Amino acid sequence: MDVILITIGDEILIGRTVDTNSAWMAAELNVLGLTVREILSVADEGPAIVEAVERSLDRAELVLLTGGLGPTRDDITKKTLADFFGMALVEHQGVLQEVERLLKKWGRPLNLLNRSVALMPEGADILLNRRGTAPAMWFERNNRVLVSMPGVPHEMRHLMTEQVLPALQKRFELPPIQHRHLLTAGIGESQIAEKVADLEEALPPHIKLAYLPSLGQVKLRLTGKGADAQALGTELQGWLDQFRARIADYVHGLDNSSLEEGVLERLAARRWQLGIAESCTGGKIGARLTRVPGSSAWFRGGVTAYSYEAKSSLLGVNPETLAHYGAVSEQTVQEMLTGALRVFDADIAAAVSGIAGPDGGTEDKPVGTVYIGVATRDGFSHVKRVQFPGDRAANMEWSTVAALNMLRRLMDGALG
């Protein structure tokens, strides 16, 4: 079934706002087995909206519209759609109550402007918005559906997840779907594809595999369709386990958890305290870990030793080691690890030193050369030399992911 997405908003056409709503919606619809045929952004003007809507309804069974709603702007889109579908605007009690509830919560008075938000096209289905004042409006004509939603991302996502997607499944009798995720790091999309090629081949038609790569990480998504939710769940779990077995060393989590969350969960399980010694990553590793609420329970801190002096004074790296092997060397990273364990009185530590670029590369240590290491209080340590191909920003990002992943692998017993 074909879908067209329309985003309304001048701010998109002048480049002030990037349309992130469409990508999110497209991914969600795709999971339901719906095909987005076209994504369209048009101006905040009646004629432009009518033209886009008319054209889209001719070419797709479902049209989803975002933007152009809300206390100050709802008039254009709402009025335009009401006229287009030949409906009058009448005050909707449910919406009015919801608006009053929200304004009370926000401590704001109900003025005429807000009151106009409760005017709804008579005959459209109204899906209340618990996150904002503008609800979604569901229109039908010759068996085709148009749903209009506010453009504020968190309101749109809430309305889609809670109301629109379930309603679409019902209306178009789409088979219920489920998805499961395998989160990997330290392995590329193509390497995974090789390792699981035969499994992917063997997947039944109602189960699909998708690769969702990001810098240094790849998320595998298994999506299944089937009426019997329990049977499907069991079946998906079976496949998930098989895929996981093939790439076990690289899996840091399931479904919705980030690599840093995976590291912190493993620290919590062992009640281990972590200390970090950074150089070329400049603090990024600590910044990633501390994004996670509650990270302070297991992350003692980090030292970013960007200079020789700091490496020696703060981490106790021997100046002779630096002079003899250089800051970017296995020996220096070993001593950074020892220092991090000591200064943070940590159970486990990670250290990184490398040449992010663009300058500083040498014949035997070109830009992108990075030494990454982990060590534990009981004396185990592991240091690896890696060669990253990117620019400064990418090399810093890859080094950060690689260090977090090495911590994860150590705690998974994958470093031997």
Q: Given the rule CB under 8 A, which residues bind a second copy?
A: 12-20, 22-30, 35-43, 48, 52, 212, 276, 278, 280-287, 289-291, 293-296, 299-307, 309-310, 313-314, 343-345, 356-359, 392-393, 396
248: its two tokens? 């076990």
Distance of CA 136 to the CA centre of its chain: 25
Smallest separation, CB 120 to a second copy (Å): 28
Cα dihedral 406, 412, 414, 416 in deg (nearest 10): 100
Question: Which residue lies nearer to a second copy by CB, 52 or 159?
Answer: 52
Minimum CB separation of residue 248 from a second copy in Å reads 26
Distance CA 75, CA 119 (A): 9
Taking the least distance from each CB to a second copy, the nearer of 290 and 318 is 290
Sign of the four-CA dihedral 15, 17, 20, 25: negative
User: What is the DSSP secondary structure assignment for residue 175, as one 8-state letter?
Assistant: P
Closest approach of a second copy to the CB of residue 303, in Å:
6
Q: What's the closest the beta carbon of residue 205 comes to a second copy, in angstroms?
A: 18
Q: Which is nearer to a second copy, 212 or 229 (CB)?
A: 212
Closest approach, Cβ 413 to a second copy, in A, equals 27
Nearer to a second copy, 101 or 291 (CB): 291
Q: Tell me the closest approach of the beta carbon of residue 7 to a second copy, in angstroms.
A: 8
Closest CA to 75 of 89, 92, 54: 89
Determine the Cα–Cα distance for residues 371 and 209; give it in Å rounded to an integer. Answer: 34
Closer to a second copy at the Cβ: 284 or 409? 284
CB-nearer residue toward a second copy: 6 or 124:
6
H helices of 118-228, in order, are 153-159, 165-171, 189-202
CA 155 to chain centre: 17
Nearest approach in angstroms of CB 286 to a second copy is 3
The DSSP letter of residue 205 is T
Nearer CB in complex with a second copy: 205/293? 293
Write out the two tokens for 355.
């040449």
Q: How far is CA 194 from the centre of its chain?
A: 25
Q: Which pair of tokens denotes residue 30?
A: 């795709």
